[in-house]
Amino acid sequence: MERETPAIIGVGRTKFGERFEEDPEDLIDEAGLMALDSAGIERRDLDACYISDYFLQLTNKIGIEEGFMSQLLEMHIPIEKVRSFSSALFNACHSIEAGKYDLVLVGGVEKMTDRLDKIRDDLMLLEDPWSYYAGCTPESNHELMLREYIKKYGITGDSLERLKVALAYISVKNHRNAVKNVYAHFRREIDLNRVLKARESAHKPLGLYDFAPISDGASAIILASPRVAKEYTDTPIYILGSALSTDYITYPSREDRAGFLATRIAMEKALKMAKVDIKDIHLAELYDQSTVLEMISLEDLGFSRRGRAWLDLAESFRNFDDFEGFYDLDGHILYVNTNGGLKADGNPLGATGGAQVYEVFKQLRGEADGVKVEFDGDLLYGCVQEVEGFGTKVYVHILGRD
């Protein structure tokens, strides 16, 4: 089948974690070179670059990232900086679809540990100043969303306990997945008790192991026009669907607070654009900034029915010793965050989406060296959800192979 959408022909990434010895440009250099190498092209072949970082301006006082990129590449091609990897990919797709470029480097980088002492204030202020003024923390909205969820669906008593355990298992599962991911921030297993103990000792509904860490890292891919993709590889991975939706900056002012409206809209658009049935998607890299978000995103994306994801998860995790690595969502097999997710792979904001795309790319090509997607059928599609802020911008990309 002749595809007419932009395609990924190479990917690269760095290890995520505390990269105290490297500057942001060192990290993007590392990921970029790997992607060029993987695609088998020279940097001189690039027509343009889209790079992303959430807030290098704040963390590293880097104002014009494009200049650093130009100097690294020693090229004078168009370079644009955006806020998330998915945003860079979304915009790169547009430019290729417009017929402007054939080969584009899409990259992302973040250096959060350079400002560890002030990072939570920065994250919260950027998420929403008015919530920050009222005392919100980066964790609070996730906990409020959990409250809104359990109240909306009337989850109490034993059900609530099961939900809490299911959330904890999400973290256990993601940690287990990351063990085999050589680039992951955390490559160690944790047990259920550890997740629950962390909540208990903090006297909080969600604890340390319910949240993604603060990470450094970079990621990059080479995006090619459908016209030239096959010149470089026999197995390009196509961007079949690419969608963005936005929502109000202040979470409390949104109408439905038991999920992200932006995720629902973006997924709907992406599926329509990709002409893919959600039933045919068996791999999703979700934005699990918290265990709550992995659970609720399953609903917002349409994999679970609304108000039912917790039950689907509880069933999937019923005998965790026998857990086969995928969720059974009312009969629908779905692998989620095979790279360990944001929780264990790490969450260097601007680079996070690149690691998600990297994972789906590798899985679709059957080249994954970590957890492998295995089920009775062909893995044709993968879905990537990335979020900016707290559901303020949500990107969904649907990737597919021939």
Partner 1 sequence: MSSGPIERRVSYIGDRLKGSRCTICGREYFRVRKYCGTCGRKSFGKIEDIDFFYEKGVLESCTVVRNPTNKFRKLGSYIYGIVSFHDGKVRVPGRLTDRILRSDEDVDPSDFEGREVVPRFRRRYSVGPSEIIPTISLAFTFADEYYPYQKYEIVKPKKEYETPGIVGYGVYVSRFRIKEGTIERSVPFLDEDAITAAVEAGKLALIHSGVDQSLIGKIYVGSESNPYAVNPIASKVAQVLKLGEEERDERVQGIDAVDTEFACKAATSMFKDAAALVYYPKTPTEYAIVIGADNSQAAPRGEPGGELDFFVGFGGSAFIFGMRDVIAELEGWYSCSSDTPDFWRRDLEPYPRHGGRFTGGPAYFKHIVKAGRKLMEKMNLTPGDIDYFICHQPNPVWPMRAAKSLGFKPEQYLPGMQVSKFGNTYSGSSPIGLASVLDIAKPYERIMIVSYGSGAGSDAYSFLVTSQIEEKRSRQRFNVRYQVENRYIEYIDYATYRRFKEGL
Q: Does 117 bind partner 1 (CB under 8 A)?
A: yes
Q: Nearer to partner 1 by C-beta: 147 or 308?
A: 147
Q: Which long-range contacts (CB under 8 A, 24 or more apart) does 192-201 make?
A: 192/165, 192/168, 192/320, 195/168, 195/171, 196/164, 196/165, 196/168, 199/168
Q: Does 257 bind partner 1 (CB under 8 A)?
A: yes
Site for partner 1 in 61-90 (CB under 8 A): none
For residue 15, which phi and psi values (nearest 5 degrees)?
-70, 140
Q: Nearer to partner 1 by C-beta: 138 or 241?
A: 138
- Interface residue with partner 1, options 18, 148, 328, 402 (CB under 8 A): 148
Q: Does 57 bind partner 1 (CB under 8 A)?
A: no
Q: Nearer to partner 1 by C-beta: 47 or 143?
A: 143
Instruction: Using alpha carbons only, give the angle 313, 319, 322 rounded to the nearest 5 degrees.
Output: 110
Q: Does 323 bind partner 1 (CB under 8 A)?
A: no
Q: Does 153 bind partner 1 (CB under 8 A)?
A: no
Least distance to partner 1, CB of residue 117, Å? 8
The half-sphere exposure of 272 on its side-chain side, counting CA atoms within 13 A, is 8
Q: Residue 348 region, left (φ>0) first, then alpha (ψ -120 to 50), else beta?
A: beta
Q: What residues contact 168, with CB distance under 8 A and at least 6 apart?
A: 192, 195, 196, 199, 209, 210, 291
Binding mask 187-226 for partner 1 (x = CB under 8 A): ---------------xxxx---------------------
Q: Which residues are paired to 283 by β-bridges?
A: 335
Least distance to partner 1, CB of residue 210, Å? 12
Q: Does 252 bind partner 1 (CB under 8 A)?
A: yes
Distance CA 285, CA 122 (A): 26
Q: Which one, of 37, 58, 4, 48, lies nearest residue 350 by Cα? A: 58
Considering only the stretches 41-49, 128-136, 178-186, 230-238, report the one whose residues sit in contact with partner 1 under the rule CB under 8 A. Answer: 128-136
Q: Nearer to partner 1 by C-beta: 122 or 328?
A: 122
Least distance to partner 1, CB of residue 253, Å? 6
Least distance to partner 1, CB of residue 120, Å? 5
Amino acid identity, position 30: E
- Footprint of partner 1 on this chain (CB under 8 A)? 117-118, 120-121, 124, 128-137, 139-140, 143-144, 147-148, 151, 202-205, 250-253, 257
